[in-house]
Each structure stands twice: as C-alpha cells, then as structure tokens.
Structure 1
Amino acid sequence: MFALLRILIILVVVIVGWAAFKYQRTRDPFWPRLIRWTLTVALAGGVIGVIGLIVQRLVET
C-alpha cells in the first residue's frame, strides 16, 4: 500500500513539475489547468483514503 502511495506521489510531483516547465516556456493556459486538475485529483484521493481508513478503524472496533 505504501509503495503504491509513494509511486502516486512521485507521479504527481513529476506531472506538476513538467507542466510548470512547459507553462514557463509556452504560456499556454492548458498547463495551469493540468496542474490544478492533478492537485485536485491527488487531494481528493487523499481525502477518500483517509475517510476509508477512519471507516475501517470504526468498523473494526
């Protein structure tokens, strides 16, 4: 599980860094949109994961 999380975090960092680099070169509005969507999906996935862990902990007790 932690290996999967680590891979996803690395993927998010690479996508955001690449999009920021491309935005600085082209000033195309697509790149900030890609950064925003990437961060939104990553944060939503994190929130869903935390809620899942809380529910699992509550069900086990």
Structure 2
Amino acid sequence: MYYVAGALLGLSGLFYSASHNEIGSFGATVCIYGSAFCDNPIYVIAGAGLAAAWGMFVSVR
C-alpha cells in the first residue's frame, strides 16, 4: 500500500502542475481526461493519505 500511496502522491503533483499550466501541452491533455482531479488535486492527496494509513494499519511486523 505504500507504493500505491507514493503513486497517488506523484499523481497529485502531476494534476497540480497540469492545472497551473506548468508542464506544457501534456498538462492540457491530462486535464482533458482528469478534469475533476485538475480542479481539486486534494482528492488525490486524500486518497494517498488513506492508502498510507491503510498500509500502516494492515502492516505485519
């Protein structure tokens, strides 16, 4: 789950950058397909936090 949390954190950065037009034409393409996430990248960050919390909850050590 930590890998999923890391991937979601990376995606939230991608959506944030795309919404602020920092990555050029690729950002426009990203926002076409993920407009809800470009408008509110906090949704993806919240998912990353939940995945990390779930990973900590179910980890066996």
TM-score normalized by the length of structure 1: 0.50
- Structure with larger RCO (C-alpha < 8 A, sep 6+): 2
TM-score normalized by the length of structure 2: 0.50
Structure 1 or 2, whichever has the larger Rg, is 1
